[in-house]
Amino acid sequence: MISFDIIIHLTSFIEIISYITIYFCGLKAIFEHEGAAFVLFLEDWKRQAAAASTNKLV
């Protein structure tokens, strides 16, 4: 009976660890996507600022 309880606790622990891993992998993917979008925004902002300094509309 005790060994069965240990197995149940181990499987629930493994399940919790897998959920945490999936959660952090999802966060990593979101931040990588948002980071790329932010870099594109900065590039566009720099291009707009350079165009504004020469009084050209882009």
pLDDT at 47: 86
pLDDT at 3: 79
The stretch 44-58 carries a mean pLDDT of 76
What would the pLDDT profile of 5-44 be if each residue is shown by its tens digit? Answer: 888 888 889 899 988 898 888 888 888 878 787 788 888 8
Q: pTM of the full predicted structure? A: 0.47
The stretch 32-57 carries a mean pLDDT of 79
Helix H, strand E, coil C: the string for the chain is: CHHHHHHHHHHHHHHHHHHHHHHHHHHHHHHHHHHHHHHHHHHHHHHHHHHHHCCCCC
pLDDT at 1: 57
